[in-house]
Amino acid sequence: MKTFIPNATSNFQITARDSKTHARTGIMCTAHGPIETPVFMPVGTQGTVKALSPKDLEECGAEIILSNAYHLYIRPGIDIIREAQGLHKFMGWSKPILTDSGGYQVFSLARLREITEEGVRFNSHFDGREIFLTPENVVQTQEKLGSDIAMIFDECPPHDATRTQIQEAVRRTVDWARRAKKVHHREDQLLFGIIQGGNFLDLRKESLEQTVAIGFDGYAVGGVSVGEPKEQMEEVVGEITPLMPSEKPRYLMGVGTPLDFFWAIESGIDMFDCVNPTRYARNGAAFTRFGKVVVRNAEYSKDQTPLDETCRCYTCLNFSRSYLRHLFNCEEILGHRLVTYHNVYFFVSLVRQIREAIREGRFVQLKKEFLFHYDESIR
């Protein structure tokens, strides 16, 4: 592959397209190195992907991770991270980082916040102290963190909000996007806009049109996977993604199961993040080519096979389901760590396989083969 060098108007280049779908591959340039897309970003909300070291993440093939500016603002505090010369040095991760703005917390911490035109007033979920976030100080916080990709501050409404409420969220998010763009000055940091609109396609298109007019380095579909039926989510993403600027990276926020990757990439999505690999691992559930396996279940007590015989991760090459079940039943931290390692490796490598299949013109074939073997139920 040719080396891609960004210029003043381009940080992203499409390198291959699937002839039968909207799937594509690309390369995005950042201050801490290139990212090949489609890409899955492991979630390290508080500056760490739970149970894994930066070395583990590199071994798993992670190209970029996600952290959350809201949580880092609360703990340990931006000044401490600045004194450590930025988030990369603070957490010992040398590759790209995307920081979420805290827009999702507007949704998830609804009982602790008040939305105004100026911003959002929170009572910290940690110690109760009052925090006032604005589009301006959220961008400035991310500039101080030194992340490679910063997200604007948006209002993420619940899926069952009324049309009037979602219309207001779209209007406010676009206004906040304009304000964020004005105060963003770091030339070595990309700034992404966020598309809202709930399940109303006309509002989604309105949000997209107005956000694109402001001009960002990439665009994200926000406000999905917030409790709505999966069919509605797929419809919204399937309709709106092909309308997003093709020359910019497209990010689907907070969505990520193995099945989601296929239909979303087929729609033209380039980037994903999700807590599923770590969250499921904490409960002893592993993702495999055949579906999810709850390794702590009694049926695996004498099972000497790996989690997934096709997987080449450290966990699968060295440990059996029987041993992993033993670790969980003894409440040994190593069990959590090993299953997390496997899950992150599985997600990252699956998206890499999809990327390779697009380049080789066999994306549809890979999707068909994967869906044939994959059982979405938990075993």
- Is residue 7, in this structure, part of any structural domain at all? no
Q: Which of 113-127, 128-142, 250-264, 359-373 has the lowest mean pLDDT?
A: 113-127
pTM for this prediction: 0.96
Active site residues: 100, 273
Is the predicted pLDDT of residue 338 greater than 50, yes or no? yes
Q: Where residue 268 sits, what CATH number does that domain have?
A: 3.20.20.105
- Residue with the bigger pLDDT between 313 and 377: it is 313
- What is the C-alpha separation between 137 and 130, in angstroms, rounded? 15
Is the predicted pLDDT of residue 8 greater than 50, yes or no? no
Q: In the structure, what pLDDT confidence band is assigned to residue 3 with cuts at 50, 70 and 90?
A: very low
Task: Give the list of residues 6+ apart from residue 87 with CB closer than 8 angstroms, or none.
Answer: 47, 67, 72, 81, 93, 97, 99, 145, 146, 147
Both 205 and 255 in one domain: the answer is yes
Number of domains comprising the chain: 2
Instruction: Identify the pLDDT of residue 109.
Output: 74
Both 307 and 198 in one domain: the answer is no
Instruction: Identify the pLDDT of residue 126.
Output: 73
Q: In the structure, what pLDDT confidence band is assigned to residue 110 with cuts at 50, 70 and 90?
A: confident
- What is the C-alpha separation between 66 and 75, in angstroms, rounded? 16
Instruction: Identify the pLDDT of residue 4.
Output: 46
Is the predicted pLDDT of residue 365 greater than 90, yes or no? yes
Percent of the chain with pLDDT over 90: 88
Q: Which of 20-29, 124-133, 249-258, 359-368 has the lowest mean pLDDT?
A: 124-133
Domain that holds residue 114: 14-274
Task: Give the list of residues 6+ apart from residue 4 with CB closer than 8 angstroms, or none.
Answer: 13, 27, 29, 34
Both 203 and 65 in one domain: the answer is yes
- Is residue 220, in this structure, part of any structural domain at all? yes
Both 191 and 74 in one domain: the answer is yes
- Residue with the bigger pLDDT between 108 and 183: it is 183
Backbone angles phi, psi at 159, to 5 degrees: -65, -25
Average pLDDT over the chain, rounded to an integer: 94
Is the predicted pLDDT of residue 111 greater than 90, yes or no? no
What is the chain's Cα-based Rg?
A: 20
Both 318 and 232 in one domain: the answer is no
Both 28 and 136 in one domain: the answer is yes
* Tens digit of each residue's pLDDT (9 = 90 or more) over 272-287: 999 999 999 999 999 9
Q: Which of 12-26, 122-136, 186-200 has the lowest mean pLDDT?
A: 122-136
Instruction: Identify the pLDDT of residue 375.
Output: 93
Both 227 and 368 in one domain: the answer is no
